[in-house]
Amino acid sequence: MPATEETMMKTLTLSRLPSPDNPALILLPWLAALAAVIAALTLGDPAAHLAGETDTSGLLRGFAMLKGVITLVALLLLSWRLLWPVPRFLLVGYVLAIVSMAGAAAMVWQLSYLGLVSIFFHGGLILLLLMAWKDSSAH
């Protein structure tokens, strides 16, 4: 039975996505980000949350949501990248960057330690970009 052009295209399209060597590895950044958010919400200063009920707190919460979206996009891109083998030092850098960004976004939502949190979020973003730049095996 000859293969039709349509079935050949489906086969070619599906074969472009590799199966990861270790499927559990894709969950690592997600679980690390979740742990960072839980730790940030636990360690956050509740007094800052109560004192920040002004227009500024609404603006800062908007920034927190934006930082959360940026972190989510980074997690999705990293999950795609982990479909292929990744050197260990790059994986550690990627996960540290994601943890830093996720924890910082949660702390901004709580309005806690805003100066320090800004350094952590932007430092994580810079680290993520450096890891991607050094990742010569990225497809």
**pLDDT digit string (tens) for 68-103?**
999 999 999 999 999 888 899 999 999 999 999 999
Percent of the chain whose pLDDT exceeds 90 = 56
Q: Kindly indicate the confidence band of residue 12, based on its pLDDT and cuts at 50, 70 and 90.
A: very low
34 versus 3: the higher-pLDDT residue is 34
Closest Cα to residue 87, out of 16, 18, 15, 21? 21
